[in-house]
């Protein structure tokens, strides 16, 4: 795995000493450069949590990935750049079911500097700046986010019309990439996994976001959303190539 090739993939020209400013730049550039996508699920290719395999998929092949791949790879990058980083297990809140997912449902990252920061490049439409522990708050073009401590866990929340909405909960127990194997397999194999029913690719832009699913194209610019129907698989593949330069057979 080549550090410079990774940095070139996300548009970073110069390595800097570990700092909150460089961390902010790395997170933002990663979100602008590498899409969140589940295009290999359920039948295209098996997602295996091996860091070299993930690197080959995302960096030289210029694909994206889902949370375990994106945050797992970003953990490697930050470590190579001299940051101290922990992988954390998170439980995603399902608004329709009004319940949290299981442990290891999502991977997020804890970065240790003079203060600790929550960092995440694998949650789709989410915060673009590191959030300071333990009661930090950030605002960017994607919205307002905050972290709070509640019921022996930390919560990531997003500001919505009805108030602060829970995104996911997590604790500070350090994890290894292999700890997520069981849930990674579940996301690919279980009939109850939403990854098996919806193909999706999404990326942040400087003015908003572009999201293509097998049912719709959504373009958000400066808070205004335009959503159009995707009529069939051929159109979906054309849109994936147009907006993400990903060619699927």
What are 217-239's pLDDT values in tens digits?
999 999 899 999 999 999 999 99
**Weakest-pLDDT range from 59-63, 97-101, 174-178:** 97-101
Question: Edge to edge, what strands does the sheet with 36-37 contain?
Answer: 36-37, 200-205, 208-213, 216-221, 224-229
- pTM value? 0.96
1: DSSP letter: -
| Residue 188, pLDDT score | 95
Round to whole Å and give the CA distance between 91 and 29: 26
Q: What is the mean pLDDT of the chain?
A: 96
Q: Could you read off the pLDDT of 47-70 as tens digits, one per residue?
A: 999 999 999 999 999 999 999 999
Check if the beta carbon of residue 6 is closer than 8 Å to that of residue 77.
Answer: yes
What SS3 class is residue 150? strand
Q: Could you read off the pLDDT of 237-249 as tens digits, one per residue?
A: 999 999 999 998 6
Q: Quick one: which of 189, 148, 191 has its CA closest to 170?
A: 148
| Residue 44, pLDDT score | 84
pLDDT exceeds 90 at position 140: yes
Q: Could you read off the pLDDT of 38-48 as tens digits, one per residue?
A: 999 988 899 99
Please state, for a pLDDT cut of 90, what percent of the chain lies above it: 91
Q: What are the boundaries of each domain within the chain?
A: 3-244
Average pLDDT over residues 72-88: 98
Angle value at C-alpha 127, between 126 and 131, nearest 5 degrees: 140
Neighbours of 96 (CB within 10 A): 5
Those residues with Cβ within 8 angstroms of residue 100's Cβ, 6 or more apart along the chain or in another chain: 91, 92, 93, 94, 168, 169
Average pLDDT over residues 104-127: 97
pLDDT exceeds 80 at position 204: yes
Q: Quick one: which of 243, 244, 207 has its CA closest to 225?
A: 207
Q: Exposed e or buried b for every residue in 2-17, given b needs 16+ CB within 10 A?
A: eeeebbebbebeeeee
Q: Quick one: which of 15, 14, 53, 8 has its CA closest to 34?
A: 8
With 0-12 / 13-18 / 19 or more C-beta atoms within 10 angstroms meaning exposed / middle / buried, residue 66 is: buried
Q: Quick one: which of 118, 89, 99 has its CA closest to 23?
A: 118
Q: Could you read off the pLDDT of 184-196 as tens digits, one per residue?
A: 999 999 999 989 9
Check if the beta carbon of residue 243 is closer than 8 Å to that of residue 212.
Answer: yes
What is the fold of 3-244?
Arylamine N-acetyltransferase fold (3.30.2140)
| Residue 42, pLDDT score | 80
């Amino acid at each position: 795995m080549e550090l410079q090739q990774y940095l070139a993939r996300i548009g970073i020209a110069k390595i800097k000493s570990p700092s909150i400013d460089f961390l902010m730049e790395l997170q933002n550039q990663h979100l602008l450069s590498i899409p969140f996508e589940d295009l290999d699920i359920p039948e295209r290719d098996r997602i295996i949590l091996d860091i070299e395999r993930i690197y080959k998929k995302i960096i030289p092949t210029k694909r994206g990935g889902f949370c375990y791949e994106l945050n797992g790879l970003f953990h490697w990058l930050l470590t190579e750049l001299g940051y101290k980083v922990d992988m954390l297990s998170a439980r995603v809140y399902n608004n329709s079911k009004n319940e949290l997912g299981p442990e290891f449902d999502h991977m997020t990252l804890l970065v240790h500097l003079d203060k600790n920061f929550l960092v995440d490049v694998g949650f789709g439409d989410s915060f673009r700046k590191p959030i300071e522990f333990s009661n930090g708050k950030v605002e960017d073009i994607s919205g307002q986010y905050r972290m709070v401590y509640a019921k022996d866990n930390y919560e990531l929340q997003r500001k919505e019309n009805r108030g602060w909405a829970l995104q996911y909960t997590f604790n500070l127990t350090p994890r290894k990439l292999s700890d997520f194997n069981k849930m990674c397999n579940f996301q690919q194999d279980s009939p109850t996994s939403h990854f098996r029913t919806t193909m999706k690719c999404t990326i942040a832009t400087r003015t908003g976001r572009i999201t293509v699913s097998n049912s719709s194209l959504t373009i958000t610019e400066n808070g205004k959303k335009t959503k159009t129907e995707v009529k069939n698989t051929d159109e979906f593949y054309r849109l994936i190539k147009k907006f993400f330069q990903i060619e699927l057979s």
